[in-house]
């Protein structure tokens, strides 16, 4: 009994003990931050980072809502969720004077419509969603646009990101609509079109699409450019295509949820990330383009001239930036759910 009591007391004391410690609760995309960066940060500041990951904006948003902000000190929503979270008063207004390294950022990525003057968000990376394929299995040039994926010869060999906006957006684009279209009739058509693609889809997966390409589980499919960059580095057969209908463009941003408990630590972490040498570690490990001009100076030409991570102006022809669709999100959800149900019946 004494032992039990002791254990209970031990358990009781631990959470409060943890409260006093220097802590930071960071919630980020899977495969999006090298462990070395976290270790360096802890080593330097003594702040322990509780690191958890998600695979879609929707999951992140639901979790932050469920915790009413009082949980994560730092999350990394895409631009279209930044605007949504600002609109719903979910974010803390940033004091940019605390971020001495903010000046390193590329001004082209600042002051965007989703967050004018960067009052709430700091760009973390930006990238595109395009098509990846294994050139050992699929001829170079055979796939040049999204619509090519519908070819019956790719039966059961494609990966789709398990991401509502990406997949529905692709369906809309193939039909010639905008990826941010909210017209229900268009969404319905996109759903019907995507249903035709189902026999070709082997899996929906978003945590780390590169793994499935590298392990040969899929021959082609939707992939984020950073993941494609790493896959290509490990196996040169994995190629990335900018589809003719246009890639999807997005910017992921560091934000502090309203109600975060470790504000100062969050600022320290953002500023740490914006340091050129830290940004370099991140860019090299995760493969996405850095929004940090000082980082780009440090990176080898081989990287900054790689078209997978750093597209040319021509590659971005027809590119569309994902945008918040407001209340129409429910419609996206409806057709996405329908698509998933249809997939289950295959």
Question: Degrees (nearest 5) of the Cα angle 152, 156, 161?
Answer: 110
Residue among 166 and 245 whose Cβ is closer to another protein = 166
Residue among 247 and 286 whose Cβ is closer to another protein = 286
CA dist 303 to 194, 229, 284, 288, 311, Å? 35, 9, 9, 10, 11
Residue among 49 and 273 whose Cβ is closer to another protein = 49
In the bound complex, what is the minimum distance in angstroms from residue 203's beta carbon to another protein? 3
What is the rounded distance in angstroms from the CA atom of residue 296 to the CA atom of residue 280? 8
In the bound complex, what is the minimum distance in angstroms from residue 158's beta carbon to another protein? 11
In the bound complex, what is the minimum distance in angstroms from residue 15's beta carbon to another protein? 5
How many residues would you count in the chain?
346
List residues near another protein by CB under 8 A. Answer: 4, 7-8, 10-11, 14-15, 18, 23, 25, 27, 30-31, 35, 50-53, 55-56, 58-59, 61-63, 65-67, 70-72, 88, 156, 162, 201-205, 207-208, 211-212, 215-217, 333-334, 337-338, 340-341, 343-346
Q: Which of 81, 83, 78, 77 is nearest to 113 (CA)?
A: 83
**Phi-psi label, residue 326: left if phi above 0, alpha if psi -120 to 50, beta otherwise:** left
- Computed on alpha carbons and rounded to an integer, the radius of gyration of the chain in Å comes to 21
Cβ-count burial of 237 within 10 angstroms (0-12 exposed, 13-18 middle, 19+ buried)? middle
Residue among 23 and 106 whose Cβ is closer to another protein = 23
In the bound complex, what is the minimum distance in angstroms from residue 311's beta carbon to another protein? 26
In the bound complex, what is the minimum distance in angstroms from residue 133's beta carbon to another protein? 16
Strand partners, 255: 75
Residue among 178 and 329 whose Cβ is closer to another protein = 329
In the bound complex, what is the minimum distance in angstroms from residue 301's beta carbon to another protein? 30
How many CB atoms are located within 10 Å of the residue 211 CB?
16
Residue among 264 and 305 whose Cβ is closer to another protein = 264
């Amino acid at each position: 009994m004494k032992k039990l009591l002791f254990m209970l007391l031990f358990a009781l004391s631990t959470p409060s003990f943890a409260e006093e410690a220097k802590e930071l609760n960071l919630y980020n995309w899977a495969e999006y931050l090298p462990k070395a960066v976290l270790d360096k940060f802890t080593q330097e500041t003594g702040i322990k980072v509780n690191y958890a990951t998600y695979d879609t904006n929707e999951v992140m948003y639901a979790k932050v809502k469920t915790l009413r902000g009082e949980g994560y000190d730092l999350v990394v929503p895409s631009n279209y969720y930044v605007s949504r979270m600002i609109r719903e008063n979910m974010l803390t207004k940033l004091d940019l004077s605390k971020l001495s390294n903010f000046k390193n950022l590329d001004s082209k990525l600042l002051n965007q419509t989703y967050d004018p003057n960067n009052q709430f968000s700091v760009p973390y990376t930006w990238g595109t969603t395009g098509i990846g394929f294994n050139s050992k299995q699929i001829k170079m040039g055979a796939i040049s646009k999204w619509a090519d994926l519908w070819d019956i010869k790719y039966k059961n060999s494609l990966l789709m990101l398990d991401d509502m906006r990406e997949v529905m957006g692709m369906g809309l684009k193939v039909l010639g609509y905008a990826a941010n279209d909210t017209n229900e009739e268009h969404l319905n058509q996109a759903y019907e079109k995507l249903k035709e693609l189902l026999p070709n889809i082997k899996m929906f997966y978003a945590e780390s699409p590169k793994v499935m390409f590298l392990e040969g589980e899929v021959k082609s499919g939707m992939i984020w450019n950073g993941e494609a960059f790493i896959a290509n580095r490990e196996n040169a057969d994995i190629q990335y295509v900018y589809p003719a209908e246009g890639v999807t463009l997005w910017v992921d941003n560091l934000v502090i949820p309203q109600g975060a408990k470790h504000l100062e630590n969050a600022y320290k972490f953002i500023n740490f990330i914006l340091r050129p040498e830290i940004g370099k570690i991140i860019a090299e490990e995760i493969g996405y383009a850095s929004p940090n001009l000082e980082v780009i100076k440090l990176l080898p030409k081989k990287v900054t001239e790689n078209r997978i991570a750093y597209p040319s102006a021509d590659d971005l022809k027809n590119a569309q930036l994902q945008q918040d669709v407001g209340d129409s999100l429910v419609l996206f959800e409806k057709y996405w759910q329908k698509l998933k149900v249809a997939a289950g019946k295959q």
